[in-house]
Amino acid sequence: MVAGIGGNQYIQSWRSRQTGNGHPLVFPGGPATPGNYRRFAAAFHEAEIKYAAKAHTGAAVLSTLLDIGVDIECAAAGELGRAIRAGSDPNALQYTAVNPPGADLDYAVELAADNPGLTITAGARDTFDRLAARGYDGRVAIRINPGIGTGHHEKVATGKDAKFGIPYEDVPGVAESVRSRFDLVGIHAHVGSGVLQADLADHCRALGVVAEMARTVGDLEFVDFGGGFGVPYREDEQPLDMAAVGEKVWSAVQPLDARVVLEPGRYIVADAGCLLTEVNTVKEAPSTTVVGVDASLATMIRPAMFDAYHPIRNVSAPRREARSVSVGGPCCTSADVFCTDRPLAAPQRGDLLAIGNVGAYGYELASNFHSMPRPAEVALDGSETRVARRRETFEDLVRLEVE
């Protein structure tokens, strides 16, 4: 079984209800989302869990998690607004922005004025100065840079990227300054994303460094170790044994005289979503068979951005004899490819392909490149299905333009 690819009965039932010109459907949420959360929470039963909204901010996902008692961590003002719209208590939100635009800080400060439980995390001295200039003196956390990055790609190894967090050696001095102007309640770090077994030792070492700084700063309400726990994208990769991971993480960060906070995002939603796309072209070339589909890097950019592998299945004819094919979309760039020379049940024009594990950073990174409308989203809950986000139209693309 390929994780993240829904059953053929759901695909066929929705195929007849598509509108537009063959754009794909995305299936977010569903029963996998709360199941993944409960597995994670059981492994870290002594920690506070906040869902990292940037993985998928759709209302279907946020409301599902809020309904089971999960708080939300937001990396941008728009995510704060989405979380509140989905029913979150603003006092329970954590705002962890990187180089926040002025308008975003304005919104967060105004929100905190009526909701003093909101926590604002900053990773630069300059950001704290900008908060003070806006008259803010409430709850803050310091994002630190431990100098150790982990994860599935160098572009997500945030723990060693100077863009993220206060340099480690500067943290004690910054903490002293921050305490004189704000209510310092936490230390925060996120060291990388997509961590599986091979990265776990380095990940725990980095979390141990964060914990040591938290002990140095002292007198904190919480220490937020971010997220980063991965899911297997390849069929031969093994999922994390979360119970064992919980023990290793706990051993690395204790003792702490503060509440432990974790922010899973990808782990909660990645395998809860798949992307359906229709084959429109099959072309024999000297080096490969090119299979053209109506999805593109505008629909799901992870393969182009991170060289990411996503499982693909021909759900129209899963038992058809396999052949080696390259699957690409309609964008005018060689980067618009979902796989190269991969065995698939031989696709034919009109077949539906399902691309798995797109629940995290699938729709969130979608764009309107080539003026392509973004796809619809359909939420599944057992045998129940509903449109969670309608398909964009050409009118949606141009409605903000002023002539």
Nearest to 65 by CA among 42, 97, 91, 41: 41
Are 25 and 375 a contacting pair, CB within 8 Å?
yes
Catalytic positions are 332
Retrieve residue 394's tokens.
Answer: 């050409």
Q: Residue 260: left if φ>0, alpha if ψ -120 to 50, beta else—which one?
A: beta
Nearest to 51 by CA among 93, 2, 91: 93
Longest dimension (CA), the chain: 69
Residue type, 292: G
Compute the half-sphere exposure of residue 253: CA atoms within 13 Å on the CB side of its CA: 30
For residue 386, list its beta bridge partners. Answer: 379
Rounded to 5 degrees, φ, ψ at 391 are -65, 135
Sign of the dihedral defined by the CA atoms of residues 156, 162, 166, 167, in that order: positive
Neighbours of 184 (CB within 10 A): 21
Are 122 and 140 a contacting pair, CB within 8 Å?
yes
Nearest to 23 by CA among 390, 374, 360, 389: 374
Stretch (H or E) spanning 84: helix 77-85
Query: Own/partner pairs for 126-130, CB < 8 Å, 24+ apart?
Result: 127/97, 127/99, 127/100, 128/174, 128/177, 128/178, 128/181, 128/182, 130/102, 130/105
